[in-house]
Structure 1
Amino acid sequence: MKKNYKKIIILVLLLINCIGFSQICNARITNNLTINNDRLKHIKEKGVLTVISSNDPPFAFIDARTNEPTGIDIDIMREIAKELGVNNIEMKVVPFVDIFDKLTTDDSIDVAVNGIAITEERKKIVNFTNPLYRESEALIVPKVSLINFKEDLKNSVIGVKIGTVYADLAEKWKKEGTIKDMVFFKSIPEIFSAIMNKQVDAGLMDSIIGQYLIFKDNLYLKKLEPYTPQAPEIIGVAVRKSDITLLNAMNKKIKEMKEDKTIKKILKKYGLGDEYWVNNITKSS
């Protein structure tokens, strides 16, 4: 009888634990579903818009002087946040390769920014806002140079950052005879240094990062023009597939910011001209 009594007590305790665990799980699931169904309301309630970025100037980065997030995309997001009734922006940093996985799995994050190109493959994973601005590769040369057109590269050695799409483009140019050779570097500042020290004749790189660093550091370099980009991209903000209300609210503000030229002013602040401006309002999600 005592053995049966002990078994009954154990079964009752196990049942209580199971019920409690089930309630906790259901509460978590319900909470996540509530956030996903109305993230816009959740953002307003917490009073902070949380973005994720890979901390790349001039797109979205932590200013070393103020320890605050800043950059083209952050400035745009601050304007959007005001429209949503939120005054604070919080930025979390992860490697770019992890951005989409983090956005779709970490419920504390609202949107992803970092000069993110809108592509068909990425649109299978997330939604994108309407386009913010355009981006492409650029050829950087000394302000006084014998290279005035792409055709002048035939006998030139160019610098390129290893592991980028621009390295692939440089490989293609070498095979086609467009350039004489190329040298790989770990960073864009290293490429700039090599150009100024005449180790290479030109650099092939991300146009916005290149032009921003030239503008910021007042370097004796320039972007080669005229030049027709071979890898143009359109930039947007990445949003979860389920956050339709938030996406619509953001697109409403983006439309206003294009009409009153706010985005153009932000681009100009970072040394970027009209060639990066996207005037048309095209649905991207």
Structure 2
Amino acid sequence: MMKKFTKMFLLTLLSLILLAGCGGEKTTNGNASDSKGDSKSATSTLEKAKEKGVLVVASSNDVPFAYINKDTKKFEGIDAEIMTEIAKRLGIAKVEMKEVKFENLLLELNNKGVDIVADAMYVKPERQKIANFTNIWYTEGEALVVLKDSPIKGLDDLKDKVVGGQKGTAFLEFAQKLQKEGKVKEVKVFNSQSELLLAVNTKKVDAIITDSAVAGYSITNDKTLNLKLVSPYKAEAAGNIGAAVRKSDKDLLEAVNKELDKLKEEGFVLKVLKKYGLNEDNFVPAGK
């Protein structure tokens, strides 16, 4: 009797295990299917951003390129305005900025902490190995800054002039290179951008060589500066600016490029450049 009961008990237990196994298999298959669906949607950053209505952009909070305005709390700057308009045209209502140290921007991108990088990043071969870059947004390099009534029209006019540069920058190195070549009389070194701009504004130097975007933005927003960027001027140490996306995000890359070309053709990009103190020298036509 006990044996019979034991045998029936074991058969019942085995049946329950088998049923549980079948049920578990169904659940697993269902989850696997859902997981595949999630994986598929996750591979498309563009579609995911459209569904959420948010595009997350990485920047080092860099004025005047891509930064959060302390007063308005809004995402502002050259790259910010271009990126926000592109997102809007792609059907993405909101752009959020995630602040990341500049040297870690591409690392954060590839770790999928953000959707795209837009922070005046030069398109360089070593960067192209780890990320795809959009078409050129604009070009940016050094500027020659002088008083508004200065007769200086280019680098050829600096042979008997005193030029200022900011300590620790590539632009100071460029000015010193010109001095060694006999194209500049003297180079004076200043510790900050504000000191540099004040020096030329108060005639301590005849001209300064500095970052074009930063100088343009400062001159546009500080009415005490009686200065201008020499134009036309072809930067000797210019770099091409683009946004970076993950290698796998080809659909996002194509979509951004398409809208970027439209914005260039419509005059939107040039308008933004001028708003922040740049000009036609920094503009790059559509398709490049």
TM-score normalized by the length of structure 1: 0.80
Q: State the Cα deviation string for residues 170-218 of structure 1 (Å, max 9, x = none).
A: 2311221222332333432221012223333221111122112111213
CA–CA distance in structure 1, aligned partners of residues 156 and 46 of structure 2: 51
Report what 2:97 is aligned to: 91
Equivalence map 1:1-285=2 (5 Å): 34=40, 37-105=43-111, 107-145=112-150, 147-218=152-223, 219-282=225-288
CA–CA distance in structure 2, aligned partners of residues 116 and 175 of structure 1: 30
Q: Is the 8 A contact 1:36 1:243 kept in 2?
A: no
Deviates further, 95-104 or 61-70: 95-104
Change (3 A) 1:127 1:70: same
User: Number of paired residues?
Assistant: 254
CA–CA distance in structure 2, aligned partners of residues 221 and 132 of structure 1: 26
Overall identity of the aligned pairs, in %: 42
Q: Name the aligned partner's letter for residue 66 of structure 1.
A: T
Change (3 A) 1:176 1:278: same
Q: Is the 8 A contact 2:135 2:287 kept in 1?
A: yes
CA–CA distance in structure 2, aligned partners of residues 191 and 41 of structure 1: 46
Q: Name the aligned partner's letter for residue 256 of structure 2.
A: M
Q: State the Cα deviation string for residues 14-56 of structure 1 (Å, max 9, x = none).
A: xxxxxxxxxxxx9xx9899657621112212322111111222
Larger radius of gyration: 2
TM-score normalized by the length of structure 2: 0.80
CA–CA distance in structure 2, aligned partners of residues 74 and 35 of structure 1: 26
Q: Is the 8 A contact 2:212 2:278 kept in 1?
A: no
What SS does the corresponding residue of 1:253 show, helix, strand or coil?
Answer: helix
Q: State the Cα deviation string for residues 255-282 of structure 1 (Å, max 9, x = none).
A: 2212222212222332332222211412
Aligned-residue offset at 1:71:
1.0
Deviates further, 272-281 or 211-220: 272-281
Change (3 A) 1:204 1:237: same
Q: Name the aligned partner's letter for residue 140 of structure 1.
A: V
Gap runs ≥5 in structure 1: 1-25
